[in-house]
Amino acid sequence: MKNQPFVASLTLLSTLAATLVMPTAWAGPYDGYTLRVKLIGGEQYEPLYSVIPEWEKKTGAKVQIVSSKSHFELDRELKQDIASGKIDYCLFSNHTNFAAQYVTITRDLKPLVPADFVSKFSPRVIQQSTIKGKLLEIPRHSDISELYYNKKAYDDPANKAAYKAKFGKDLAPPQTWDDVAQQAKFFAKPPNFYGTQFAGKDEAITGRFYEMLVANGGQLFDKNFKPTFNSPAGVKSLNWFVDLYKSGAVPKGAPNYVWDDLGNGFASGTVALDLDWGGWASFFNDPKSSKVAGNVGIIRAPKGSSGKRTGWSGSHSFSITQSCDNPKAAADFLMFITGFDAQMLEARRGLMPTRLDAQQAALAEFKAKNETYLTDVFNTFAAGMREDSFTPPLIPEWVEVSNSIWPELQKAIVGDKTSKQALDDAAKKVEALMDDAGYYK
């Protein structure tokens, strides 16, 4: 009992200490800090941002989204920021295929993000996020195109019999791009039904041509960055598009199509084969948005004449700016929104996670729920990302190179020039711009 005053004093002291210490114990490591970020906006990307309050609660920091725009608007804004030298934010949405343009404002993440965190990601995607040895971005989700097909067209007994009679083999989803051309012409009954379709303008057609070129054994540049896409492999690749367009196997408006036209076209049930992005998978199989729901098949992208598959791909990502005043907080936030839980949130919405653990967990979830379509989609896209994916050359001039190529590709497709002439003209333009940019000095 004689210890009573001591115990009472101790209790009082503990209470006082707790009162003084508790507010700091409750506060997070970045209490009071405001992290300014520029994020890509849009229906596909914004659900991820619902996890931001969780990070704010954990760290005591606030996230201020100073800009939320579509990819192309954000690209324009970032370029203006670089020009004005006003980079007053810490983190921004990036993309592997365009990151080289923002190198001057982007911080190397290797000192900020632990190696064991990076090791959770697909090595190929991490390699695509690294420029000149610097890890410039942490990928959020990946995009690659695989071949969707309308099962109704393939299961139709009349089609099966007619195809067998005409070509002497069974009608089955195509394995090569030559098969695609043959089947597309077979299915086409314009203006009601088309064999296939392709994006015909902007970077979309440059990308499609580029992946076909690679699949046919060609390359855009040699090791000195001299254009080589006007090679025989280039002409063969461009002829594939020209031939399908001339034959009427693709819609006449294809030279003006981009992704939304293609997605809506396949969903309208008027197209047999569609090389398209993973993000469309749920849309195609949803009866509210698609007439082919329940009849969508998916296979790996076909092979070109070199035996390689087409695999133009890219990953949406996040980067930290050089001028960031609290890179540790920015890195913490970055790891939070590219962490396992955040990637699972996007995976459940049909986006391909870049973390291997999230890919496996998402696949296991789909299998457990007996969602065979999503399981197929995930398996196909994961295999494509793992084995076939490649980005355009990671150079700041990529957009400019693409803008020099696509109008010439269109000229060949609509018949204003031959494929060789169009590619030679594009090669001249690209060579001039690469010369201007100092590649040949």
Beta bridge partners of 148: 274, 298
Amino acid identity, position 280: W
Residue number with CB closer to another protein (102 or 177): 102
**Interface with another protein (CB under 8 A), residue from 56, 396, 418, 428:** 396
Is residue 399 near another protein by the rule CB under 8 A?
yes
Cβ atoms of residues 149 and 299 within 8 Å = yes
Is residue 311 near another protein by the rule CB under 8 A?
no
Is residue 279 near another protein by the rule CB under 8 A?
no
Interatomic CA distance for residues 334 and 208, integer angstroms: 31
Interatomic CA distance for residues 318 and 11, integer angstroms: 49
Burial 284-313 (b: 16+ CB within 10 A, else e): bbeeeebebbebbbbbbbbbbbeebbbbbb
* Three-class secondary structure of residue 107 per DSSP: coil
Is residue 319 near another protein by the rule CB under 8 A?
no
Is residue 413 near another protein by the rule CB under 8 A?
yes
Span from 5-13, 142-150, 250-258, 342-350 in contact with another protein (CB under 8 A): 250-258
Is residue 418 near another protein by the rule CB under 8 A?
no
Residue number with CB closer to another protein (214 or 292): 292
Kindly give the residue spans of alpha helices, DSSP state H, lying in 143-285: 151-155, 157-167, 177-187, 202-215, 232-247, 259-267, 281-284
Residue number with CB closer to another protein (118 or 293): 293
Is residue 201 near another protein by the rule CB under 8 A?
yes
Span from 212-220, 247-255, 298-306, 365-373 in contact with another protein (CB under 8 A): 247-255
Chain residues 74-103 in contact with another protein, contact rule CB under 8 A: 75-76, 79-80, 82-85, 101-102
Is residue 278 near another protein by the rule CB under 8 A?
no
Beta bridge partners of 145: 277
**Interface with another protein (CB under 8 A), residue from 34, 268, 306, 322:** 268
Interatomic CA distance for residues 285 and 288, integer angstroms: 9
Is residue 253 near another protein by the rule CB under 8 A?
yes
Cβ atoms of residues 277 and 207 within 8 Å = no
Q: Tell how strand 138-150 and strand 296-299 pair up.
A: antiparallel
Is residue 414 near another protein by the rule CB under 8 A?
yes
* Interface contacts to another protein, rule CB under 8 A: 75-76, 79-80, 82-85, 101-102, 104, 190-191, 194, 197, 200-202, 251-253, 255-256, 261, 264-265, 268, 270-271, 396, 399-400, 403, 406-407, 410-411, 413-414, 416
